[in-house]
Structure 1
Amino acid sequence: MPEKTNLELSGIITPLITPLRPDFTLDDGALAKIINHAIAGGVSSIFPLGTTGEFASFSLNFQLDVIKKVCEQVNGRVAVLISITASCVEDTLKLAEMAEKCNADAVVATLPFYFSLSQDEISSYFTQIADNVNLPLYLYNMPGKTKINIAPETVNVLAKHPNIIGLKDSSGDMGYFGTVSKLVEEPGFSLYVGPEEELAEALKLGAKGGVNGGSNLFPKFYVELFNAFEKGDLAQVDELQTKVRAFSAAVYNLTDNPNNYLQGLKAAMSIKGFCEPTLAPPLKALGSADMERLRIVLNDWT
């Protein structure tokens, strides 16, 4: 078996929002502004078209355009990880082809929508992708959306594939994260955490970094937390994690909408002057009253 692809990423990865104009077209100017802001804040990578990027609401051609424009804008300053999740393998491979053409560094895939899958089918699915893409692949565990968990034992099997180099876990289940961390010992396979509320705990359990939505807006919060952990300053880590949790509670829970995280983050980005609060249909942006509530909340955040 060939040696595992080597791409050692650590630090904070920004799961990029997809800024939209009111007519739901891509806002190129806002895209550039947000990318430049995240990079200036010290993030190690830009990751478009994930959950935070609303990928499931966009056509294949729209996603291909996003890949091209993100890679052009980043222009090699940090790594670029491209989400290639789709409901059929053919579209997944088309996204991966564009990622390679645009000189992205790696691709990321969660499970396709609609059908429930057995663990054997999950393993076969990711193996098929890894066998047919030229960029290294990160697995993406997102059971809150896919309704399926990639079992730790399945992760352990897939970690042995030379082109599968890591897992982003957005389950929010730190018991699961700890089990995977202990079970998977494959050299060159790295773990990253999605929910920013658990960033500090994940780092203590062996994560190489976080894929944290709030880094679109306040990248330095998350970068400082990671750097404090790297320096062994656990008191500062805990202090910063408390700050991140307070931000999350203030911004992501304004409504009882099941997509309140996306509503709150995009609205906050709008209030801070980065983009419109527009979400892609069928999701709806915050209403005017909630926007005003958030505006008051954000007065406490700089």
Structure 2
Amino acid sequence: MSKAPPPGFYVPAVLFFDENENLDIPSIQAHVLRLAQGGVTGILVQGSNGEAQHLSHEERKQTIALTRKTLDDNGFQNVLVIAGTGAQSTRETKKLCADAKEAGATHALVLTPSTWPNMMAQENIMRFHTEVAEGSPIPVMIYNFPTVTAGQDLDSELIGKLATHPNIVGTKLSCGNIGKIHRLTSRFSQSDFAVYAGRSDTYLFGLLAGSSGAIAALVNLVPKLHLKLYKLFQDGNIKDAMELQAKLGHGDWASSKVGGIGGLKAVITTNFGYGNPNVRGPLKPVNIDNFKGNAHYDTLLELIAMEKAL
């Protein structure tokens, strides 16, 4: 029986490149290590922040294997590696799932194809995810992120049908719909089908609704703060958890306003001493000098100061 990932908080890790857009391996390793030291339950390689669509198949395998080896070599064997394996065809998605297993991932996270959104009726979506699950050598999770799938937003009824498949073990909901989280958690146990909030601004609210935690981009900046909130929730200290959730909510919004993936990398590089803002085209790097006097960056600096104090 396929198992869902354990409850906790996960990070869709950014990937670093050098000035020639080649993989910057030392920076990738430094980032993986800081995230693990920050207490993450697992690392999602090639989530939406990992520029998966900009990588070759070989690079995708390489970065999964590099993440797993970096964790293992530094005593973090307990930290999971999940691989984003979504592609525009069922055939390629299944191949990426097989590659992910070979490279050391325990689970696959699968976006719905979006090249032909008008052709993706519910029947087609069901068939795609079912065929991928049946062809994948590792358990799969449904990734619902309308922003990157041409507006396709899978509802709780459709996800609930997919959840009954023995090799579909969870979902990441980046749609921000708490009602959807609650409808799913009230039907399925966390061990059978894990439901994760896909954004930090829904982190605590998802936990209160029975979610297994979060897989959220802001964890790239402040993993320790996400761990702190998780512990406050576990201890039943909802008052303090709500205060921290408010700060993470503002941070989540701010991180979306500093230049996307390039902005996130620029913030990391400036404040944690490794990496660079390089991205692969058509994305463009963000100059950290542009952040002077930027209220959104100031919000992130406040969070980073809290992170470093822990």
TM value normalised by structure 1: 0.90
Q: Which residue of 1 aligns with 2:99?
A: 98
Sort the Cα spacing of 1:54 and 1:8 in 2 relative to 1 into closer, same or farther, 3 A: closer
Sort the Cα spacing of 1:18 and 1:77 in 2 relative to 1 into closer, same or farther, 3 A: same
How far, CA to CA, are the matches of 2:64 and 2:95 in structure 1?
A: 11
1:37 aligns with 2:34: yes
Q: Which residue of 1 aligns with 2:285?
A: 285
Q: Partner letter of residue 81 of structure 1?
A: I
Does structure 1 conserve the Cα–Cα contact (< 8 Å) formed by 2:169 and 2:193?
yes
1:59 aligns with 2:56: yes
Q: Which residue of 2 aligns with 1:20?
A: 17
Q: Partner letter of residue 106 of structure 1?
A: H
Q: How far off its partner does 1:184 sit?
A: 4.6
Q: How far off its partner does 1:109 sit?
A: 0.4
How far, CA to CA, are the matches of 2:262 and 2:190 in structure 1?
A: 38
How far, CA to CA, are the matches of 2:301 and 2:49 in structure 1?
A: 23
Q: Partner letter of residue 165 of structure 1?
A: V
How far, CA to CA, are the matches of 2:230 and 2:101 in structure 1?
A: 29
Does structure 1 conserve the Cα–Cα contact (< 8 Å) formed by 2:267 and 2:288?
no
1:242 aligns with 2:246: yes
**Partner secondary structure for residue 186 of structure 2:** helix
Query: Identity of counterpart residues, as a percentage?
Result: 24
Sort the Cα spacing of 1:288 and 1:7 in 2 relative to 1 into closer, same or farther, 3 A: closer
How far, CA to CA, are the matches of 1:299 and 1:155 in structure 2?
A: 37
1:149 paired residue among 150, 153, 157: 153
Q: Partner letter of residue 105 of structure 1?
A: T
Q: How far off its partner does 1:100 sit?
A: 1.3
Residues 52-100 of structure 1: CA deviation (Å, up to 9, x unaligned): 1121222223222212212222223411111111112232222212221
How far, CA to CA, are the matches of 2:297 and 2:45 in structure 1?
A: 29
1:219 aligns with 2:223: yes
Does structure 1 conserve the Cα–Cα contact (< 8 Å) formed by 2:4 and 2:193?
no
Q: How far off its partner does 1:38 sit?
A: 0.7
Does structure 2 conserve the Cα–Cα contact (< 8 Å) formed by 1:68 and 1:98?
no
Does structure 1 conserve the Cα–Cα contact (< 8 Å) formed by 2:3 and 2:192?
yes
* More off after superposition, 170-179 vs 183-192: 183-192
Q: How far off its partner does 1:12 sit?
A: 0.8
How far, CA to CA, are the matches of 2:266 and 2:167 in structure 1?
A: 37
* More off after superposition, 88-97 vs 184-193: 184-193
* More off after superposition, 162-171 vs 284-293: 284-293
2:126 paired residue among 119, 123, 127: 123
1:173 paired residue among 174, 177, 180: 177
Sort the Cα spacing of 1:71 and 1:279 in 2 relative to 1 into closer, same or farther, 3 A: same
**Partner secondary structure for residue 50 of structure 2:** coil
Residues 132-182 of structure 1: CA deviation (Å, up to 9, x unaligned): 111111111011110211221111111111111001100122233333333
Q: Which residue of 2 aligns with 1:229?
A: 233
Q: How far off its partner does 1:6 sit?
A: 2.0
Q: Which residue of 2 aligns with 1:257?
A: none
**Partner secondary structure for residue 22 of structure 1:** coil
How far, CA to CA, are the matches of 1:86 and 1:299 in structure 2?
A: 35
How far, CA to CA, are the matches of 1:148 and 1:183 in structure 2?
A: 23
Q: Partner letter of residue 284 of structure 2?
A: K
Sort the Cα spacing of 1:291 and 1:285 in 2 relative to 1 into closer, same or farther, 3 A: farther
TM value normalised by structure 2: 0.88
**Partner secondary structure for residue 28 of structure 2:** helix
**Partner secondary structure for residue 280 of structure 1:** coil
What is the Cα-based RMSD across aligned positions, in Å? 2.0
Q: Which residue of 2 aligns with 1:135?
A: 138
Unpaired runs of at least 5, structure 1: 255-259
Does structure 1 conserve the Cα–Cα contact (< 8 Å) formed by 2:49 and 2:217?
yes
Q: How far off its partner does 1:8 sit?
A: 4.2
**Partner secondary structure for residue 133 of structure 2:** helix
Does structure 1 conserve the Cα–Cα contact (< 8 Å) formed by 2:254 and 2:297?
no
